[in-house]
């Protein structure tokens, strides 16, 4: 959520930012609502001050057993007026907040202009996007041939776009997960958490999925949602809390399955592990002081790159343009891994600095010094990495001419073998 004061004080800045995002926004409606709210609020507060004073007098009169009916009658009318003004102020605020909650974050100055993925900028490349000296197969063929993936049974158990890993395939999933969590906790200073996989609507509001993107989520009859990413759980780990001075930054990592309805994505990437209703992910998350968040984003990306480098998977780092960024982010780098079987780079991690956008929604604050005023923190999140896509990348990059998969050195201890198949 943007700072409401920003809309009042510098609407032109907000308008310019929305243009960069290629979004339209009627600021006049917001400004009108805000002045309506303030007008009613000021009037109501004046009347409340009067009521408080007179109520004190009424108490005194009653204590002395004197007549107070005149005051009481007057305050009854004032009370009705206050009620009407409160309703007016609340209605205006509710409408204002409803609109404000649907406004995306402001892009950072360092984010390039652009409308869509075409305008993203490749900032660096690691490794060679090479093809083997035999016909490279996509991971679903490799996995299917070795009996590591079973799409028919996955669809029977659930429905299309769910996956079933079998035998060494399932073991590879677990190995990748363990490798990542071990790396982040032992080398990068993250605290591991194992969160709930169901989340409350309030949590989804804080991280930014609600109210705008409900159709992308699975909702349970009980009112809870299946989490689409543990970014939600990690954002809400410290919702409504104030960090003591000197306790930032805080780094967290979590494994969780992620559930996405993928509404409107029919026909896209329908084969393989790339686009599923459920996938596993290891997430990295940071709560930091505002002035450090730009640097923290760079190290977050580096932590994600470490996973790919550790696995020996070629990739490139892409800086998203303003029009291609997610709702809550002010700056985002995507990591795209090379998939020789698919013959292209595929997104495998997205690392974002959300600034105070989520912190304001979730009231996540810190004190700069003991006894100081609470200030909003900055939050950052990054996949470290999407496990299903990592599985696919390992299969495609380590496939061998005989149809087997060589296990990357870093995973051999977790797999207990050097070759799959």
Partner RNA sequence: GGAGGGGUGGCCGAGCGGUUGAAGGCGGCGGUCUUGAAAACCGUUGAUGGUUCCAACCAUCCGGGGGUUCGAAUCCCUCCCCCUCCGCCA
What token pair was written down for 393?
A: 């990348």
* CB-nearer residue toward RNA: 79 or 343: 79
Closest to RNA by CB, 56 or 189:
56
Do 304 and 284 contact (CB within 8 A), yes or no?
yes
What minimum distance in Å lies between the beta carbon of 87 and RNA? 8
Of the pair 78, 102, the CB lying nearest RNA is at 78
Answer positive or negative: Cα dihedral of 199, 201, 204, 210: positive
State in angstroms the smallest separation of the CB of 255 from RNA: 18
Minimum CB separation from RNA for residue 297, in Å?
26
**Minimum distance of RNA from residue 414's CB (angstroms):** 25
**How far, rounded to the nearest angstrom, does the alpha carbon of residue 299 sit from its chain's CA centroid?**
18
If the CB atoms of residues 204 and 392 are measured against RNA, the closer one turns out to be 204
> How many Å from the N-terminal Cα to the C-terminal Cα in the chain?
50
CB of 234 to RNA, least distance (A): 20
| Min separation Cβ 377 and RNA, Å | 13
Q: What is the 3-state secondary structure (H, E, C) of 207-218?
A: HCCCCCCHHHCC
User: Could you tell me if 377 and 290 are in contact, meaning their C-beta atoms sit under 8 angstroms apart?
Assistant: yes
Instruction: Select 75 or 172, whichever has its Cβ closest to RNA.
Output: 75
Question: Which parts of 64-106 fold into alpha helices (H)?
Answer: 69-100
The answer to whether 258 and 278 are in contact (CB under 8 A) is yes
In sequence order, the 6+-apart residues with CB closer than 8 A to the CB of 106 are 2, 13, 14, 17, 330, 355
Least Cα distance to 392 among 311, 320, 282 occurs for: 311
129 near 117, Cβ under 8 Å? no
Residue 10 vs 52, nearer CB to RNA: 52
**Where along the sequence are the contacts to RNA (CB under 7 A)?**
5, 38, 41-42, 44-46, 48-49, 51-56, 58-59, 62, 71-72, 75-76, 78-79, 90, 365, 370-371, 373-374
Distance separating alpha carbons of residues 35 and 210, to the nearest angstrom: 26
The least distance separating RNA from the CB of residue 31, rounded to whole angstroms, comes to 13
**CA–CA distance, 149 with 170 (Å, rounded to integer):** 8
Yes or no: say if 188 and 305 are a contact pair by the CB < 8 Å rule: no
Helices 139-146 and 168-186: angle between axes, nearest 10 degrees: 120
Query: By C-beta, is 290 or 374 nearer to RNA?
Result: 374
Count the alpha carbons within 13 Å of 299 in the hemisphere toward its beta carbon: 15
Q: For the CB of residue 55, give the shortest distance to RNA in the complex, in Å.
A: 4
Q: How far is the CB of 91 from RNA (least distance, A)?
A: 11
Closer residue to RNA in complex, CB, 223/264: 223
Instruction: State which residue, 75 or 254, has the beta carbon closest to RNA.
Output: 75
């Amino acid at each position: 959520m943007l700072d409401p004061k920003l809309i009042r004080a510098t609407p032109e800045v907000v308008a310019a930012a929305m243009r960069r995002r290629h979004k339209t926004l009627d600021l006049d409606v917001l400004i009108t609502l805000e002045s309506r709210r303030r007008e009613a609020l000021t009037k109501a507060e004046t009347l409340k001050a009067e009521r408080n004073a007179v109520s004190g007098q009424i108490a005194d009169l009653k204590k002395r057993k004197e007549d107070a009916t005149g005051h009481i009658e007057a305050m009854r009318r004032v009370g009705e007026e206050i009620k009407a003004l409160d309703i007016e102020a609340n209605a205006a605020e509710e409408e204002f907040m409803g609109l404000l909650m649907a406004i995306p974050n402001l892009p950072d100055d360092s984010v390039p202009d652009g409308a869509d993925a075409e305008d993203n900028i490749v900032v660096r490349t690691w490794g060679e996007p090479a093809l083997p000296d035999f016909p490279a197969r996509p991971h679903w063929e490799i996995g299917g041939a070795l009996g590591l993936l079973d799409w028919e049974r996955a669809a029977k158990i659930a429905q299309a776009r769910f996956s079933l890993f079998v035998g060494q395939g399932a073991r590879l999933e677990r190995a990748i997960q363990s490798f990542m969590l071990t790396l982040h906790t032992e080398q990068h200073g993250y605290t591991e958490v194992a969160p709930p996989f169901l989340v409350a609507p309030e949590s989804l509001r804080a991280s930014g999925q609600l109210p705008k993107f409900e159709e992308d989520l699975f909702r349970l009859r009980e009112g809870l949602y299946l989490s689409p990413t543990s970014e939600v759980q990690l954002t809400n780990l410290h919702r409504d809390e104030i960090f003591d001075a000197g306790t930032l930054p805080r780094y967290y990592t979590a494994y969780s399955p992620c559930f996405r309805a993928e509404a409107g994505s029919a026909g896209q990437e329908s084969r393989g592990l790339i686009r599923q209703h459920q996938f596993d992910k290891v997430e990295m998350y940071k709560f930091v002081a505002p002035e450090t968040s730009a640097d923290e984003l760079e190290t977050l990306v580096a932590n994600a790159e470490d996973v790919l480098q550790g696995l020996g998977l070629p990739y490139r780092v892409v800086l998203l343009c303003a029009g291609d960024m997610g709702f809550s982010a002010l700056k985002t780098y995507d990591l795209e891994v090379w998939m020789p079987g698919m013959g292209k780079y595929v997104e495998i991690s997205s690392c974002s600095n959300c600034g105070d956008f989520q912190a304001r929604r979730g009231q996540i604050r810190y004190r700069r010094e003991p006894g100081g005023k609470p200030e909003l923190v900055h939050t950052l999140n990054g996949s470290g990495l999407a496990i299903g896509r990592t599985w696919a990348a390992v299969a495609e990059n380590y496939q061998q001419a005989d149809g087997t998969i060589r296990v990357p050195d870093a995973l051999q201890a977790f797999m207990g073998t050097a070759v799959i198949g």
